[in-house]
A and B are shown apart, each in its own frame.
Chain A
């Protein structure tokens, strides 16, 4: 089935560690996005990429990094500089057509040990 696949579903990080969240898609979407969701908050944009080998900061990029070496893959690294990383992370894919919705993965819940 086509879709956005995120792994792992649950992830634990020790203080001072970097962790990488995986996002893969087989929908042939040019654009991919990473969002963070906290309780009582909407989705906040961390990074996005509209084409391979190019990405842009979103509203809350500090403490995160991404890469887009392949169209199908857009991994997110949560670095030790991110002081409050506990959240639900959602990856999405989409097209440049303004009337088309984004397609979301099932999310990764990151917690601090």
Chain B
């Protein structure tokens, strides 16, 4: 099985930078996804990492270290609209390719 751990809640100030961590344990790693979910809405895809290193997409970046079972999502120049839940999901190798989701991190951005 898989075990995925994220902080439950984080707060940050508008314009600042925030890092949301995700640690995982899996029998065979085959990719990690980050999604953003506003309350009562569908999760939307942010980033995908399968190799070690940093993937940058505008204000959002995602980092992966497979040896440490660790990823983070970095949000720069925070805006009020970034207040949402951020979900980390890990795919394991073999079988169905269905990712397992963490509990999500609720980010509150205040002025």
Interface residues of A (CB under 8 A from B): 4, 33, 35, 40-45, 48, 50, 56, 58, 88, 90, 96, 98-99, 101-107, 109
Contacts and interface: CB of A to CB of B under 8 A. Distances in A.
A109 B40 contact: yes
B91 interface: yes
Interface in B75-110: 87, 89, 91, 96-99, 101-104
A33 B31 CA distance: 18
Nearest to A40: B103
Q: Closest 8 interchain pairs by CB?
A: A101-B45, A42-B101, A104-B42, A43-B101, A42-B103, A106-B42, A98-B97, A104-B43
B98 A45 contact: yes
B12 interface: no
Contacts of A41: 103
